[in-house]
Amino acid sequence: MPDVSCKIAVIGAGTAGLAAFRSARELTDDVLLIESGPLGTTCAREGCMPSKALIASAKVAATARGGESFGVKTSVKVDGPAVMKRVRRLRDHFVDGVIEGYRAIPEAQRLRGRAKFLAPGILDVGGRRVEAERIVIATGSEAVIPGDIAEATGGRFMTVGDIFELHGLPERLLILGSGVIGCEIADSMASLGVEVSCLSKGGDISFLSDPLVKSAAETILKGHFRLLPDAEFELLGWEGDVFSVKLAEGDGPQTEGFDAVLVATGRKPSLNDLNLEKAGLELDDQGTPQFDELTRLCRGSEDKPVFIAGDADAETMVLPRANWTGEAAGRNAANWPSVGKADAPPTMGICFTEPSMAQVGKRFSEVEDRDDLLIGCADFSDQGRAICEGRNEGILRIYGSAKDQKILGAEMIGPDAEHHAHILALMLRQEITISEAQEMPAYHPVTEEGLRTALRNLSD
């Protein structure tokens, strides 16, 4: 006899799991939400929200420091402990809100403990046996720590969640990795007066794939902190409170010391403890389930259906995607065997540096080989409103199809990039033609005029 049996078990009470739970519960009460970790979701506890709280303080510092060029004299002193206290206060506020929602779920529908598969449709949750007709995997993701970094640091490093636990700001911060998290933390810490070196291998800058946008981003960010996205370096290790790195830059190798090390070398799905080999699923050679993107059904699980949602599926790891994949997985689990294909929104990525970087729809790397490719570009260095505000840097590139007369996607760095990406996402969602998009209204003077310029010069 199982300890618990239910129609649907959702593993993980993060954004995707909560969305799956909610959408399944609209159709049946027989749903169990299983969670092992601290409650509150990655977004609120160590992701989107505390990082944006830190960035908000950084933005105030950068604006105040730049006041003189506007004829406004200020003297700026960053109070590190106060900045970090505010970050934690806001983080706790967001986490508490999520926990309140979780506690409102009837006790019979939630279970605390680590879930792992014993067989298809059967889980062990902290020693209790749970039998479920259908299961949703929404276990999120975790930081990747490369072996050489773990070894050189002897485990003495921070991942992004640890940053928000700091009670003051380090003087010299080494960030390994120039992806979205590396760039956001590097840019904000530098604005707060921390001496930041962000080193990476391979040349990536956030999610950008368009060489022109990437090159603009590299130039802009290099003006804020030391950024070496394809660096030659050797991690030497800690000596007392100083972590040393041998770095080839300029005149040759030099050794430098840092007070703190942040590892931001990417994230991987948290699937290791699930015993997926016992779940009867088709797995790839990384052990990730194969699934249908729109139904969220894992291949090989048709007898005992398993759905997957959020960061756990190893695709683009962002919150809006965790939400819609969670909703789709929960709804299809409840409706099984009748499954619907979810209406996937256009992909969007935003990296909240100042100025921000954004990507919407197809990336350049996905469209560059098309023989009907149209590209429209706007250069913000000469954009009226951006000049008035001293934010005139960056470029925006939009990709279109000459054959279909449709917008395909865009990449950008520049003033208000996060908002331009949203306008373009709406256009993609509405599937409007290029000529309809070119009629986009814009007030004056606004940075949206830059977006309209790029749309108007979409050509091959």
Ligand X SMILES: Cc1cc2nc3c(=O)[nH]c(=O)nc-3n(C[C@H](O)[C@H](O)[C@H](O)COP(=O)(O)OP(=O)(O)OC[C@H]3O[C@@H](n4cnc5c(N)ncnc54)[C@H](O)[C@@H]3O)c2cc1C
Contacts with ligand X, residue ranges (CB under 6 A): 11-17, 34-37, 41-43, 46-48, 51, 114-115, 138-140, 160, 181, 270, 273-274, 310-312, 317-320, 322
Residue number closest to ligand X, CB atom = 14
Write down the least CB distance from residue 162 to ligand X, Å.
Answer: 11
* 444 counts as catalytic: yes
CB nearer ligand X, residue 6 or residue 386 = 6
Shortest separation between residue 21's beta carbon and ligand X, angstroms: 11
Please choose, from the candidates 165, 215, 174, 216, the residue with its C-alpha nearest in 3D space to the C-alpha of residue 194: 174
181 is in an annotated binding site: yes
Q: In this structure, are residues 144 and 265 in contact, taking their beta carbons and an 8 Å threshold?
A: yes
Cβ at position 390, least distance to ligand X in Å: 25
The answer to whether 304 is a known ligand-binding residue is no
Three-state DSSP at 293 gives coil
Q: Judged by CB, which is closer to ligand X: 41, or 200? A: 41
Smallest distance from the beta carbon of 125 to ligand X, in angstroms? Answer: 7
Closest CA to 193 of 82, 78, 354, 84: 78
Residue 52, annotated ligand binder?
Answer: yes
Nearer to ligand X, 64 or 99 (CB): 99
315 and 142 Cβ atoms separated by less than 8 Å: no
3-state secondary structure 181-235: HHHHHHHHHHHCCCEEEEECCCCCCCCCCCHHHHHHHHHHHHCCCEEECCCEEEE
Gyration radius from the chain CA atoms: 24
Name which of 31 and 43 has its Cβ closer to ligand X.
Answer: 43
Enter the tokens of residue 240. Answer: 């007392």
Return the amino acid letter for 151.
Answer: E
180 carries a ligand binding annotation: yes
Cβ–Cβ under 8 Å, residues 366 and 59: no
| Separation CA 13–CA 181 (nearest Å) | 23
316 annotated ligand-binding residue = no
- Is 194 assigned to a binding site? no
419, 420, 422, 444: which is the annotated catalytic residue?
A: 444
- Residue 157 beta carbon to ligand X: minimum distance, rounded to whole angstroms: 15
Taking the least distance from each CB to ligand X, the nearer of 16 and 425 is: 16
CB atoms within 10 A of CB 37: 16
Enzyme catalytic residues:
444
* Binding-site positions for FAD: 52, 139-141, 311
* Binding-site positions: 52, 139-141, 177-184, 266, 311
* Binding-site positions for NAD(+): 177-184, 266
